[in-house]
Amino acid sequence: MTDAKFRGFIFTLDAIFSLIVASAAISILLYIHFVTP
């Protein structure tokens, strides 16, 4: 694997990970917002 490809792979993983973290945080916030009175 070339260096550029490896860097792109890491970048893609990083983007996917941040998307997952963001959606998890949003769903937790929504859950708290709707569950607590």
pLDDT at 1: 66
- Measure the CA–CA gap between 6 and 13, rounded to whole angstroms: 11
| Distances 4 to 12, 21, 23, 32 between C-alpha atoms, Å | 12, 26, 29, 42
Over the range 3-37, which residues count as b (16 or more CB within 10 Å of their CB) and which as e? eeeeeeeeeeeeeeeeeeeeeeeeeeeeeeeeeee
pLDDT at 2: 84
1-37 per-position pLDDT tens digit = 688 888 999 999 999 999 999 999 999 999 999 998 7
Q: Which amino acid is at 36?
A: T
